Every structure is written in C-alpha cells, then in structure tokens.
Amino acid sequence: MSYQLTIEPLGATIEVEDGQTVLDAALRQGLYIPHACGHGLCGTCKVSVCDGEVDHGHANPFALMEFERDEGKTLACCCTLQSDVTIEADIEEEPDAQLIPVRDFATTVSRIVDLTPTIKAIFLRLDRPIHFQAGQYVQLAIPGIGESRAFSIANSPASVEKTGEIELNVRIVPGGKGTCYLHQSLKAGDPLTVSGPYGRFFVRQSAHKPMVFMAGGSGLSSPRSMIVDLLEGGWPLPVTLVYGQRSKDELYYDAEFRALAATHSNFTYVPTLSAEADGSGWPGARGFVHEAAKAHFGAAFAGQQAYLCGPPPMVEACIGMLMQCRLFERDIYTEKFLSAADAGNARSPLFKRV
Ligand SMILES: Cc1cc2nc3c(=O)[nH]c(=O)nc-3n(C[C@H](O)[C@H](O)[C@H](O)COP(=O)(O)OP(=O)(O)OC[C@H]3O[C@@H](n4cnc5c(N)ncnc54)[C@H](O)[C@@H]3O)c2cc1C
C-alpha cells in the first residue's frame, strides 16, 4: 500500500510506502528536504502539513513541541502517512548542490585502524559505487539494536571511486549504543548496511571565496574529505583548517595535513590542543578551536566562508566567535554531530544552513 505525497513549493508528487518516512521517500526519489540527525532529535526537517493525515512517529517532544503538532507541523524524518498528504518544506535553491538519490549499500568491513585512543577508522567495502559530495554522511545500521547512526564520509570522492571503500572515523561515546558496538565488537570481514548520501554540508565553490574549516574531535571527517577534494581539484583560493583536540595523542591525520600544507601553498593547517600538559614540548597553538581560529586570523574573517564540523558545543562556540568578528549566517555552514544526549537542546539545531 502507498500514498501520494505532494511537496510544496516544488510541486512534486511522489509515492510513499506505508510505514516509510517522508524524508526517506523524498531523498530516495531525488528530492531534497533539509535534514540532519535523521532520528527526530534536532528538528531540522520540520515541515508543515497542509493537507492530509500523518503519524508523527518517534519525534522527540523537544524537537517537535505539542503546540507545533497542533499547528500542523511534523518532522519529515519520523512522520509516516495515513492518507494522501501535501506538505510545505523550507527548501532553498543551492547552485552547488547535486541531487543524488539515497540508496542502500551492502558493505564489508575491510579493516579497522586505531587513529587515537578514542577514534577508530572503519573502512567499508561497498557492493556498488556510491556517488556523493565531499562532506556528506551515511546512516550506518548498527547490528543488533535496530537503529542507525550518522557518520560522515572521511575520504574524498576520488579516493572512494579508486578504492571502492568509504572510510568512517568513529569516536567512542561512553555509554553510546552504536559507537560502543563499533569499537568493541566490530571486526574485519563483518557485513554492515549503510544508506546515503545525506546532508548539505558541502563546499560552495560557486561563491568563490577563501574557506576556513573549523573542526573538533572526529569532526575532522567531513572537512578532510572536503579539503582533499578541493586541493586535488586545483581550487585556487586560500583554504585553512583549524583543528582542535585535547592532547597530542588524540591528534590524527596530523602528518597528512602537514604534508598537504607543504605541497599546497594555498593550504594552511592550524592544529590546537586544549588540554595538553604544560612542558610537553608541543610547539603549536593551545586552546579551543574558536580561540585558535580567532588568534590565527586576528579576528578578521570578512570575505571568507566558514565550515564548522564536530560536537555541538564546539560548533556553537565557533558561530558565536565568527558573528562577533562580523562573519554572518550566509557565510557559515555547519555540521553538528548530534546524538541522543542533545535531544533536549533542539534550539538552533544546525544553524540555518547545513
Ligand atoms: C550528520 C551527523 C554526522 C555525524 N558524523 C559523525 C562522524 O563522522 N564521526 C563520529 O564519531 N560521530 C558522528 N556523528 C555522531 C554519531 O552519529 C552518533 O550520534 C554518536 O557517535 C553517538 O552514537 P551512539 O549510538 O554511540 O550513542 P547513543 O546511544 O546515541 O547515546 C549518545 C549519548 O547520549 C546518551 N543518551 C542516550 N539516550 C539518551 C536520552 N534519551 N537522553 C539523554 N541522553 C541520552 C548516552 O548515554 C550517550 O552518552 C554524526 C552525527 C550527525 C548528526
């Protein structure tokens, strides 16, 4: 059984299977609706139901409040149809966006590499080629728990095409169902299912502006894919990566970024450590990402585009700093690594643009 879904202002009508979410149906048919966590936590995919009946599914009560339900709002990532429905979504024209339909992929774990004491690189061999824009993510079905988790693709599209593998950089979250499984039980040879690509965290080359990437923890994954893609593609304008970790032993792909900076005169790499012991001999920046970025640029960000990726508090701190330094929303793009722990903090889910 299926229903008809009309998406305004696109005016497109698609089939939605009984029990399929609106977001899943739209993305699989090449229609974009803004989204982020994919699990009813953040509210980025909020749409208005203009006509017809929906079931809100497991939308978090903070992400979709009672009065919003009364006003006819729903979350596209959780809602299913009870009749033919028309929705209205806030869809911006994006000249740099490629419309790539979401697909399922059967994968095999080819290897797992310890990048730091808390982050593993998981390499997944795909059953068929995936097309994606650098910076996008996949949903990985976690065996045994019937849930999936979002992980950004850490290697560039060219590397994925050449090797047939996507690389995910997974930080263990204490008490986290998905990441504890991936760190403690997953082994080479295991099968895993992923779907993707998702998200709109990709570079806007058409604006032709210098780019500054700010990343923390495993939030290096998307920027790594984007920066390698830009530099391999001959992007001529300045690119800066400010990358924050707690300590030297948590700094990963450091040698790779130093080598890129040595071979690309337009690329600058600024690693910063927030909890490195005094007297350890670390010669680089100290402090949080937003502090190191502000110091590096002397608080002058005008004319750049900023791409922020990582834990929500890091992204919020960078947004605050950039706005104080007079870089505004239209030039700031974010990917927050939201998890169940952020369910009560649905305010400012992903900044306006993702
Ligand atoms: C777009 C996107 C891209 C991402 N990319 C990456 C990536 O490249 N690398 C990466 O490492 N991570 C990434 N993440 C984060 C990742 O998807 C997971 O959310 C994260 O790793 C935690 O998953 P988990 O299953 O281990 O934890 P969960 O089981 O989801 O729990 C997370 C935390 O919340 C707590 N918790 C659980 N339930 C509740 C509740 N009801 N209320 C309050 N707290 C609760 C848990 O104790 C734990 O501390 C990304 C997230 C998004 C949205």
Q: Assign 36 a pLDDT band (cuts: 50, 70, 90).
A: confident
Residues in the chain, overall count: 354
Q: Which residues of 287-313 are buried (b: 16+ CB within 10 A; e: fewer)?
A: ebbbbbbbeebeeebeebbbbbbbbbe
pLDDT (average), residues 74-93: 94
Mutate to test the pocket of ligand 1, among 42, 337, 345 (most ligand atoms within 8 A of CB): 337
Give residue 176 CA to ligand 1 midpoint distance, Å.
Answer: 7
Q: Assign 345 a pLDDT band (cuts: 50, 70, 90).
A: low
In the predicted structure, residue 189 carries a pLDDT above the cut 50: yes
Nearest to 38 by CA among 122, 138, 175: 138
Rounded CA-CA distance 107/37 in Å is: 22
pTM of the complete model beyond 0.85: yes
Q: Assign 92 a pLDDT band (cuts: 50, 70, 90).
A: confident
Pocket of ligand 1 (CB under 6 A): 36-37, 137, 149-152, 169-171, 173, 175-179, 199, 218, 221, 335, 337-341, 343
* pLDDT averaged over every residue in the chain: 94
CB-CB contact of 353 with 332 (8 Å): yes
Give residue 339 CA to ligand 1 midpoint distance, Å.
Answer: 3
In the predicted structure, residue 230 carries a pLDDT above the cut 70: yes
Q: Assign 341 a pLDDT band (cuts: 50, 70, 90).
A: confident
In the predicted structure, residue 164 carries a pLDDT above the cut 80: yes
Give residue 171 CA to ligand 1 midpoint distance, Å.
Answer: 9
- Express each pLDDT in 64-74 by its tens digit: 999 999 999 99
- The pLDDT of residue 344 is 57
- The pLDDT of residue 6 is 96
Q: Assign 349 a pLDDT band (cuts: 50, 70, 90).
A: very low
pLDDT (average), residues 329-349: 77
- Express each pLDDT in 118-157 by its tens digit: 999 999 999 999 999 999 999 999 999 999 999 999 999 9
Closest atom, ligand 1, to C-alpha of 142: 25
Give residue 238 CA to ligand 1 midpoint distance, Å.
Answer: 33
- Express each pLDDT in 242-252 by its tens digit: 999 999 999 99
- Nearest residue (by CA) to ligand 1, atom 25, is 178
Element (H, E) at 148: strand 147-152
- What the block records as the tokens of 278 is 């005094």
Nearest to 272 by CA among 296, 306, 255, 305: 296
Give residue 141 CA to ligand 1 midpoint distance, Å.
Answer: 13
